[in-house]
Structure 1
Amino acid sequence: MRLCRLALLLALLPFAASAQERSRTLRVSLNTELQILDPLMTTINATRVFAYLVFDTLVSLDAEGQYRPQMLQGWEISADRLTYTFTLRDGLEWSDGQPVTAEDCVASIRRWARREALGGQLMAATREMRVLDAKRFEIALNRPFAFVIEALGKAGHTIPVMMPARIAAGDPNTAVTEIVGSGPYRFLQSEWRPGERASFVRNPRYRPREEPPSALAGGKVPKMERIELLSITDQATRAAALEAGELDFLEILPFDFITRMRRNRNIVVGQPRGIDQFLSVLNVNHAVPPFNDPAIRKALQAAIVQPEVMAAMGLPDDMLVPWCGSIYMCNAAGTTEAGTEGLRAASTERARGLLRATSYRGEPVVFLHAAASALLNPIGLVMADQMRRAGFNVDLRSTDYATVAQKRLSRAPVEQGGWSVAPIVLNGVDLVNPLANPLIAYNCVEYPGWYCDPRLKDLTARYSEAATPEEQRALADQLQTVVHDAVTFIPGGQFAGPPAWRADLRGVVPFSFPVFWGLERR
């Protein structure tokens, strides 16, 4: 069976015959397929990986959590901290040969800000954004906003990538179809076969920074001539291909293979920590019964026992955090236990008692279950069982993740095709800033779950203006307390989704998701 799977895989690989071409080509299998090319249209990780290959950002996050100039030479901030002046580096070009200009950057920021919560907050605090000359632009604020640089360097969904003004000026709610970036690789759009293969070659017009790479910052030197993202849905086939040397890199090694791969001297298994791990959460639909009732949400919160959820993942002990109440990730700079008392007290017995005291009388609860996902399948099965034990009438709807993602957009009542709950997994890097954290930032806006709490609105406004780390930390604690009290989402535990790669690769940049600059074969 394994030989048959590998034979099918080899049919997808265009360079299998040439050893020389093989040494210059990186073959990668991501955890999800690349289906959408516009990074503002989806939060699927494959599109984020794609975005960092072909686009670039003005500011980037380094391995120490600092924000550093990337496309920018630097910036100046006025004494009253209301005016930011940005200057582009010399010699930047788009992949079509045109120079990168300040006009391109302003258009790209405006498009991004209309699609993303942190960008929207930045624009709400902006009086004027204007082009000064070909290389300089200015953001003038109407009130203090402490996270201008962090917004432009946001690594979590949705990324503020730069693109030519003629493309960025289009409808922000319509996906771009022409891919022109200034990143280290160029996308071979004519060769793209969705569900099969996406190909990239080095961008000869890219100008890397001189500093060594550090996470998303520094010199993103494209050392591999070609990168192939191969769509392989079967988990065992992915692992077998890595062992056989037909794949070079897996975004997430199937958990059943971790122990075995750790013993293979030809394979390196990564060890993500802190914000490079994932947080599992239960997405709760506040818009329709029964979870429009806060008391019923509290009973649901009590039903989710995190250690049970994490035990189902089948991970080694050093790759999971059995209990984590911090919405900013555990074992990270922003970790806090504020407001977690209710989570710690979770149990079936407590959940049943809380549920009996509510108006819930056995109405169906539609549970969207991504059975085809290696991550979400075990999480969903355990959470659904926990809800049943607590007394909820669970209607489990098992399907693939793409279908779940589509159904989560519906606000219809459950009897008209709507939904009640859906487990999802969030990258830790998406959670560190409260202004971008989806458990907070999508308060009272159109985001699946449709939670809305006035306390969050007030606290995020105050957080955006907080001038000192002490003020920011105190407000972050208050925000987490409200999240758990309002039950915007319910944490299910923190875990690692370890990458794995062939041992003949060097220069792998450890980060929350795969990046491929600086990587070469020994």
Structure 2
Amino acid sequence: MNRSRIALLLAAAPIALTLAHGAAAQPAPNRVLRVAPHADLKTLDPVFASIVITRMHGLMIYETLFAWDSKLQSHPQMVESVSTSPDNLVWSFRLRDGLRFHDGQPVTTRDVIASLQRWMKRDTVGGKMAEYTAALEAQDERSFTLRLKKPTGMVPFALGSAVGQIPAIMRESDAATDPMKPVTEAIGSGPFRFNRAEWQSGARVVYDRNPDYVPRSEPADGLAGGRVVKLDRVEWTIMPDPATAAAALQTGEIDIWEQPGQDLIPVISRNRDVKVERYSNLSNQAMLRPNHLHPPFNDPRARLALAYATDQADFLAAGFGDEQWWKRCASYFVCGSPNGTEAGTEAFAKPNLETARKLLAESGYKGERVVMSSSYDIAPIGRMAEVAAETLKKIGLNVDLQFADWGTVTTRQQNRSTPDQGGWNLFVTTASGATMQSPVTNIGTNMACDRAWSGWPCDAEAEKLRNAVVEAVDEDGRRAATEALHRRLAEMQPYRVLGQYDQPYARRSNISGVLSAPVMVFWNIEKK
């Protein structure tokens, strides 16, 4: 990084951000947290989109029935009490008192049931829950039951899911809309309110403390426990240029940089008023996702060619710099997690371009244009996409790498049309370790066809094996089922695992209380 450029930005940042805030009345400085998030907020509906920035937004304003703690264990959140029948087929829940939406309406079981039904049509975990669900029934305004077709122990874990599309509880009027279209309202019952009047797409997102919110009494732990808000306002300032964010952090114009650029970590770490830390002990995963609907990657041989063609180190070094921040790993379920097997991946542990070319030819590929969509809004993703394009050209793929803003890229990912009609063939992305570590939550290994995540992989055998994991009754059975599933995934390649990395965050030294969670959350934080 050019040091003179940083010096200029250090001088300019205070003026630029002051102008951006304008003359509007502001709460006391120590009650306003200013954050540079990793991307701009485009989609407001966390049940429609699995985008991390939308999930962060969702957790600000919505709540879920259960919530994961820092060790990914699930605890009641909106639920006051829960009980199960002796055969484990009937789960009974009662909502805690005092739950109200931001418009003043009480949260009722009608809202809950409509929200869960919508989530089950959108999410990997929700779709799996739907397979086991016989009925959702309201008993009264605060009590409802979940009746299962067959026993599974995943109920609290699923209802507290903080990955993919989260089971956010919305107003019935919002949740009852078409699940294939995003909800454009942002009325939840959570600890913050979305300030739509001050939302400036591409520049600024504002959340105000919800004065009517009643937190749980337990201490905060991850997403679980009391969501006690110690600020009046949280402002996200969109800063696509890492040097601008680095400068703003060092001058105190922002308090937190959610995902600092790896090449700038040594620079900001030298500032004694800046702390660089991790907020998760589980590494994240990078991936190359093919579209299974259209040639050539509707053929598993073409997808397997991606695995033989690519060297994880090339991608990780380009995306995340120094090797202290990344490592090779071929596990779909994250090395270092309870499910971190690499079974079935031995053959492509090292690149083999000759084998990749052979598999590509066998798939019937004849040089057709392959569209790869990417963005430099999230710099590591853009850099890894460039590596992918150059690598895949070596095995004969005619790659058309197209860059756009991240919001446009993620919107395009939902398009099932052919590439020449606005669709796509490939994209590079990343996902949290919390998302990918379990066969239940891993959005990329869901091969349930139309109910799968963007890319829409379809394989009945993989889904059968994933069900075996869900239904395993003991640890040995779960491990055996997970290994069998992983071997099938390695063969079918729903996506190419590009390895894993650690993404730290950076904060000013006067900021405390950042919780270890699947994504960054802003309750419990204090600014002195």
Q: TM-score, normalised by structure 1?
A: 0.93
Shift of 1:390: 2.7
SS at match of 2:394: helix
Shift of 1:229: 1.4
**Is the Cα contact below 8 Å between 1:60 and 1:216 reproduced in 2?**
yes
Shift of 1:313: 2.3
Match of 1:103 in 2: 110
In structure 2, which of residues 195, 211, 216 is the aligned counterpart of residue 188 of structure 1? 195
SS at match of 1:257: helix
**Is the Cα contact below 8 Å between 1:325 and 1:343 reproduced in 2?**
no
Larger deviation, residues 214-223 vs 366-375 = 366-375
Match of 2:125 in 1: 118
Match of 2:472 in 1: 466
Pairwise CA RMSD? 2.2
Shift of 1:274: 4.6
Match of 1:380 in 2: 385
SS at match of 2:136: strand
In structure 2, which of residues 218, 228, 232 is the aligned counterpart of residue 211 of structure 1? 218
State the distance in 2 between where 1:27 and 1:403 align: 25
Q: 1:204 to 1:399 in 2, by over 3 A?
A: closer
Shift of 1:103: 2.5
**Is the Cα contact below 8 Å between 1:274 and 1:332 reproduced in 2?**
no
State the distance in 1 between where 2:421 and 2:227 align: 49
5+ long unaligned stretches in structure 1: none
**Is the Cα contact below 8 Å between 1:242 and 1:250 reproduced in 2?**
yes
Name the count of aligned residue pairs. Answer: 519
**Is the Cα contact below 8 Å between 2:280 and 2:517 reproduced in 1?**
no
1:54 aligns with 2:61: yes
5+ long unaligned stretches in structure 2: 1-7
1:366 aligns with 2:371: yes
1:9 aligns with 2:17: yes
State the distance in 1 between where 2:414 and 2:193 align: 32
Match of 2:483 in 1: 477
Amino acid at match of 1:147: M
In structure 1, which of residues 241, 246, 250 is the aligned counterpart of residue 257 of structure 2? 250
Shift of 1:369: 3.2
Amino acid at match of 1:503: S
State the distance in 1 between where 2:98 and 2:214 align: 7
Larger deviation, residues 410-419 vs 504-513 = 410-419
1:348 aligns with 2:349: no
Q: 1:367 to 1:272 in 2, by over 3 A?
A: same
In structure 2, which of residues 33, 37, 42 is the aligned counterpart of residue 30 of structure 1? 37
**Is the Cα contact below 8 Å between 2:381 and 2:428 reproduced in 1?**
yes
**Is the Cα contact below 8 Å between 2:162 and 2:518 reproduced in 1?**
no
State the distance in 2 between where 1:300 and 1:406 align: 24
SS at match of 2:147: strand
Q: Percent identity?
A: 35
Q: 1:369 to 1:133 in 2, by over 3 A?
A: closer
Amino acid at match of 1:362: G
SS at match of 1:49: helix
State the distance in 2 between where 1:235 and 1:476 align: 39
Shift of 1:314: 4.3
Q: 1:439 to 1:134 in 2, by over 3 A?
A: same
Match of 1:389 in 2: 394
SS at match of 1:9: helix
Q: 1:263 to 1:360 in 2, by over 3 A?
A: same
1:290 aligns with 2:296: yes
State the distance in 2 between where 1:143 and 1:334 align: 24
State the distance in 1 between where 2:174 and 2:409 align: 30
Larger deviation, residues 159-168 vs 71-80 = 159-168
Amino acid at match of 1:78: S
Larger deviation, residues 60-69 vs 328-337 = 328-337
1:427 aligns with 2:432: yes
**Is the Cα contact below 8 Å between 1:388 and 1:394 reproduced in 2?**
yes
**Is the Cα contact below 8 Å between 2:320 and 2:326 reproduced in 1?**
no
Shift of 1:4: 3.7
SS at match of 1:491: strand
SS at match of 2:430: strand
1:517 aligns with 2:523: yes
**Is the Cα contact below 8 Å between 1:118 and 1:441 reproduced in 2?**
no
Amino acid at match of 2:520: P
Larger deviation, residues 461-470 vs 135-144 = 461-470
Match of 1:335 in 2: 340
Shift of 1:123: 2.3
Q: What CA deviation, in whole Å up to 9, does each residue of 1:217-271 have, x standing for no partner?
A: 1111000111111222222111111111000111101122111222221111122
Shift of 1:470: 2.5
State the distance in 2 between where 1:433 and 1:314 align: 24
Match of 2:497 in 1: 491
State the distance in 2 between where 1:37 and 1:364 align: 33
Match of 1:89 in 2: 96
Counterpart mapping for 1:183-332 below 5 A? 183-275=190-282, 277-321=283-327, 323-332=328-337
State the distance in 2 between where 1:184 and 1:85 align: 26
Amino acid at match of 2:230: K
Amino acid at match of 2:268: M
Shift of 1:415: 5.1
State the distance in 2 between where 1:250 and 1:16 align: 24
SS at match of 1:445: helix
Larger deviation, residues 436-445 vs 65-74 = 436-445
**Is the Cα contact below 8 Å between 2:240 and 2:377 reproduced in 1?**
no
Q: 1:172 to 1:503 in 2, by over 3 A?
A: same
Q: What CA deviation, in whole Å up to 9, does each residue of 1:127-173 have, x standing for no partner?
A: 22111122211001122233111111111010111123233233333
Q: 1:16 to 1:241 in 2, by over 3 A?
A: farther
Shift of 1:376: 0.9
Amino acid at match of 2:373: L
**Is the Cα contact below 8 Å between 1:6 and 1:240 reproduced in 2?**
no
In structure 1, which of residues 474, 498, 507 is the aligned counterpart of residue 513 of structure 2? 507
Q: 1:73 to 1:285 in 2, by over 3 A?
A: same
Larger deviation, residues 45-54 vs 119-128 = 119-128
Shift of 1:442: 4.3
In structure 1, which of residues 394, 400, 403 is the aligned counterpart of residue 405 of structure 2? 400
1:69 aligns with 2:76: yes
Shift of 1:347: 3.5
State the distance in 1 between where 2:62 and 2:132 align: 26
Amino acid at match of 1:401: W
**Is the Cα contact below 8 Å between 2:371 and 2:425 reproduced in 1?**
yes
**Is the Cα contact below 8 Å between 1:463 and 1:472 reproduced in 2?**
yes
**Is the Cα contact below 8 Å between 1:103 and 1:134 reproduced in 2?**
yes
Shift of 1:427: 1.8
State the distance in 1 between where 2:96 and 2:320 align: 47
Shift of 1:501: 0.9
SS at match of 2:164: coil
Amino acid at match of 1:458: K
**Is the Cα contact below 8 Å between 2:318 and 2:380 reproduced in 1?**
no
State the distance in 2 between where 1:17 and 1:226 align: 12
Q: What CA deviation, in whole Å up to 9, does each residue of 1:364-402 have, x standing for no partner?
A: 332223244312111111122211223323232233333
Amino acid at match of 1:501: R
**Is the Cα contact below 8 Å between 1:62 and 1:216 reproduced in 2?**
yes
SS at match of 2:439: coil
Q: 1:467 to 1:248 in 2, by over 3 A?
A: same
**Is the Cα contact below 8 Å between 1:302 and 1:346 reproduced in 2?**
yes
